[in-house]
Chains A and B, each alone.
Chain A
Amino acid sequence: MIRGKSAIACGVLASIHGLALVANFAAPYSFAAQQREFAWAPPTSVHWLDRHGHFHWRPFVYGTNGADESRMYPLRFFVRGASYRFAGLFPSSRHLFGVDAPGVLFLLGTDGFGRDQFSRLLAGSRISLTAGWLAAILSLALGTVLGGMAGYYGGWLDDLIMRMSEISLALPWLYLLLAGRAFLPLDAPSSMAYLILISVVGILGWARPARLIRGLALSLRERGYVLAARTFGASGPYLLRTHILPDAAPVLLTQMALLAPQYIMAEVTLSFLGLGIDEPVPSWGNMLAGVQHYHVLTSSWWMLLPGIAPAVVALCCFTIADALAGRRGVVPL
């Protein structure tokens, strides 16, 4: 049973992933749409009370992003807007909410090109979450297989895999990524090039989980039921598949909950260094990359808001990892 804080964390995570799935529908604008006259616009104020003090049941915004109080634009649901594919499948032009043109609704303000930050945050969640989970799965899968083999078989195989893990940990991964980016074909779609890079990051991250799983396998292979099965002639792969790895499942789940936010933050780091996904596709990382500039920090506070998203996801994941570890008596590493 998942209870208390971990239940809330699961609910929040599920909501964020659900929003990511229908990001184009939930966002009022296309993530790439530039409304250049609204560059660096602060978040739009949504009102219930007008300038005369009259209450309106339907919330509204003022014209020209709040500058023109003579014109009011009520919020509407299921408005028509930019075309997209709902959940990546069905063509649609309906958006969950919005205002009629020429009114504008920028819940989190705009960037330097007048692109809606809220729409970009939702669209960016797809890239960032996919990157995080993909890298975590790759690194954990590779780490589990190699670590399990090293721990169970021991001997020269153990030595070989552990030395490989040490080399892997010592590799300057940033240079590898720079080299990898340089060799990718230029006409490769940006998202594809980026997913290749993040896969490289995931694959390069196998060493730490492998060392953890090796330790577990070393311990589990001496358990009575494993020794008994081996006495009856069970093969190594069979023992790994049916006894050792299933027993390591709670640790693997905990590791997954820990690794995913780490890789989401790695995406932020990559984008900060300019190795992230290319314009105009947003990710949490490339949205935050702009914050490194002095003028953004001092003049456009709303550009910091996308930083909340990876922080919330990381918090939820760590809460779940903590709960999983607590239930199994496993200390998260």
Chain B
Amino acid sequence: MNSPLAHRVSAKAPVKLFLRSSVVVFLALGCVVYRVPAEEYLVTSGAPGKYGGDLVVAERSEPKTLNPVMAVENVSREVIGLLMADLIHINRYSQQTEPALARSVDVSSDGRRYVVHLRQGVKFSDGYPFSAEDVLFTFQVYLDPKVDAPQRDLLTIAGKPVLVRKVDSDTVLFEFAQPYGPGERVFDSVYILPRHLLLRPYTEGKLNDSWDLKVAPAAIAGLGPFRFREYVPGQRLVLERNPYYWKQDARGQRLPYVNKVILEYTGSEDAEVLRFENGGADVVSRLSARNFDALAQRRNPSEILIDAGPSLEYNFLFFNLNDLSTKNLRHIESKQAWFRDVRFRQAISSAIDREAIVRLVYAGRATAIWSQVTPGSKLWRSANVVSSPRSVGKARTLLASAGFSWNQAHKLIDSSGRPVEFSIITPVNNSERVQMLTVIQQDLEEIGIDVHIVTLELRTMLSRITTTLDYDACLIGLATGDADPGSEMSLWPSGASAHFWEVRPTAPPPLWQIEIDRLMTAQMSSNDPRERKRLYDRVQELVAVNLPIIPVVSPDVLAGSKAGLRNFKPAVLLPYVLWNADELFWGARQ
């Protein structure tokens, strides 16, 4: 009793001893009955950081849903990208694929079978283990016609959905009906769903109603770097650090570094910029060139502004080339003789002063383009598409060769003496496109064409170009989610969902369109990257010559952050700034 140990013994000592012994025995038995796999972390290459701080991001619009099965617009998908993870991911900076939840992938020599080995020991943000069952469930949901997920089209090759089979608890086999050109890129942004949370809503047919913005934080879980914490309508959405995230840095620190990501909704880009300028936001993206320059002129040392160069977004003009024979749109049909003449479209392209648009609308922070592939696409841009500077003389020659002439008032008239005039519609809320049209209007006036600019509310405009077909011409912009031409399959082949200029194709289609259809199909089923490049180069050449769309300009990706934010690397692929939110950390704040 006099030993030092005697002082530590109390009446509760036997109980504690029993509990400790029980734990040891329980753990020992557990090792025998069920082996908990070690966590297979993905080690990132970004500079190691330090924990702490919140990240406030100014956003102009709110997400519609947190449900990956329902999300179609970029804002929702950007938030979901922070909550969820995919098997294989496209690095937005390098534009190359890299493993994510898949530890490795074995591809068969014919390019049809992908054996995906899953990372072991990974857990969802609610602590529930991730397994091959979740992968099977996810693809079952995405491929279910009743669910009608937007990913279904991507996962359907040659009219047949991808076959998914579980090989063992950590291995899944994917089998395509034919070789798939874009390869493993197909898995990007196909977010893995938690079977333990969504199986019930799915079997009850209520999956599409799940995970709206009113969802309780405990009812949503993912494998992304953050988890949902709070949504205040019209104000903010708050995400918090996922303590079970499966990435770590070179020092062995589990990512992400910041405690919270707070998405503050401002309603407009200008309000976003003001909030950033006043210190109310740490990150701002999708800046207009003029606002970017205005911020740059202030030279605020606490701000870093980055021009990441040309994006993948391309703004283009197109004419209504639809078959309108069953529509009562005589006033447009009568103009389609002009629109269908390739020399007319070439003349319009030649008359547009793209460099003036770059200078006046984008303050030089954009690139004039003559092809749908912008300089932002590092791998796919064809060197054979040459830029042709504005030439009013060439435009006039082309128009004259197509049978047009000019009256005494210098107005362009067609062979029947009818003045050439048409309207161009564009969304009312995009001031840069309205400005582009103001330049184009003046440019075309120089060759005697009167253009009416009509700004419409976005849904009204989309209804006109996809349903009623009641329009002459339209100016819009598209930003594909990936640089790979596979993402353009919804655009270029006849009958594709976004084949806007010819939603109702004419019969027979022009020869160049038949050629584009063949080339696009061929590049999708080729395993050889060089062959795919050659095929897609030819598509670009055909587009540049035949101009079903008239590419105009590609704006730069412009973003800004507070000076203390590290690893901030805006990319040209969507989402431009938060693609590596898990690696962002605060250094010394200024």
Residues of chain A touching chain B, judged by Cβ–Cβ distance below 8 Å, are 32, 34, 36, 39, 112-114, 178, 181-182, 186-187, 189-190, 273-275, 278-280, 290, 292-296, 298-299
- 1/0 per residue, CB under 8 A from A, across B277-293: the answer is 10000000000101101
A87 to B457, CA, bound (A): 35
Tell me if B360 is interfacial: C-beta within 8 Å of chain A.
yes
Name A186's contact: one of B274, B428, B470 (CB within 8 Å).
B470
B472 at the interface (CB under 8 A from A): yes
Distance (Å) between the CB of B44 and the closest chain A CB?
35
A155 CB to nearest B CB, Å: 43
Contact of B456 among A182, A187, A296 (CB under 8 A): A182
Complex-state Cα separation, A290 to B439, whole angstroms: 16
A113 CA to B434 CA, complexed, in Å:
12
Tell me, in angstroms, the Cα distance from A113 to B298 when the chains sit together: 24
The answer on a CB contact under 8 Å between B455 and A295 is: no
When distances are taken between beta carbons in the complex, the residues of chain A under 8 Å from B441 are 279-280
Most buried by A among B423, B470, B471: B423
Is residue B356 within 8 Å, beta carbon to beta carbon, of the partner chain? yes
Please state if A112 and B435 are interface contacts (CB–CB under 8 Å).
Answer: yes
Cα of A83 to Cα of B428 in the assembled complex, Å: 31
Most chain B beta-carbon contacts within 10 A, residue among A32, A181, A292, A298: A298
Given A112-B435, A299-B294: A278 touches B359 (CB 8 Å cut-off): no
For the complex, what is the distance from the CA of A190 to the CA of B268, rounded to whole Å? 27
Judging by beta carbons under 8 Å apart, are B273 and A294 in contact? yes
B411-441 interface (Cβ within 8 A of A): 421-423, 425, 428-429, 431, 434-435, 437-439, 441
A24 to B359, CA, bound (A): 29
- Bound together, the chains give a CA A182 to CA B457 distance in angstroms of 8
Complex CA gap A36/B353 in Å reads: 11
In the bound complex, do residue B442 and residue A34 qualify as a contact, i.e. CB atoms below 8 Å apart? yes
Set B270, B297, B437, B457: member contacting A293, Cβ < 8 A:
B270
| Interface positions of B (Cβ within 8 A of A) | 268-270, 273-274, 277, 288, 290-291, 293-294, 297-298, 331, 356, 359-361, 421-423, 425, 428-429, 431, 434-435, 437-439, 441-442, 452-457, 460, 470-472
Contact A294–B428 (Cβ < 8 Å): no
**Interchain nearest-CB distance for A211 vs B (Å):** 32
Closest 5 A-B residue pairs measured CB to CB?
Answer: A274-B428, A295-B294, A295-B290, A182-B460, A186-B423
Contact with A280, one of B268, B277, B438 (Cβ below 8 angstroms): B438
Let me know if B425 and A186 touch, CB within 8 A.
yes
The answer on a CB contact under 8 Å between B290 and A293 is yes
Asked if residues B274 and A294 are in contact (CB atoms below 8 Å), the reply is: yes
Chain B nearest CB from A57 CB (Å) reads 38
CA distance A154 to B438 in the complex (A): 54
Identity of the chain A residue whose Cβ is nearest the Cβ of B445 in the assembled complex: A32
Interface centre among A274, A290, A299 (most CB of B within 10 A): A274
Inter-subunit contact A39/B360 (CB<8 Å): yes
B455 A274 Cβ-Cβ under 8 A: yes
Q: Which residues of B contact A299 (CB under 8 A)?
A: 290, 293-294, 297
Q: Which one, A36, A178, A275, contacts B359 given CB within 8 A?
A: A36
- Are B270 and A292 closer than 8 Å at their CB atoms? yes
The smallest C-beta distance from A127 to any residue of chain B, in angstroms, reads: 15
Neighbouring A residues of B453 by C-beta, 8 Å: 190, 278-280
Shortest C-beta distance, A106 to chain B (Å), equals 16
Q: Looking across the interface, which residue of chain A has its beta carbon closest to that of B443?
A: A34
Q: Is the CB of B294 within 8 A of A298?
A: yes
Is the CB–CB distance between B361 and A112 below 8 Å? yes
Contacts of A36 in B (CB 8 A): 356, 359-360
Q: Is the CB of B457 within 8 A of A178?
A: yes
Contacts of B277 in A (CB 8 A): 294
Complex CA distance for A11 and B72, rounded to whole angstroms: 58
Q: What are 17 A-B contacts with C-beta separation under 8 Å? A: A36-B360, A112-B360, A112-B435, A113-B360, A113-B439, A186-B425, A186-B452, A187-B452, A187-B472, A273-B428, A278-B455, A293-B290, A294-B269, A294-B270, A294-B277, A295-B290, A298-B298
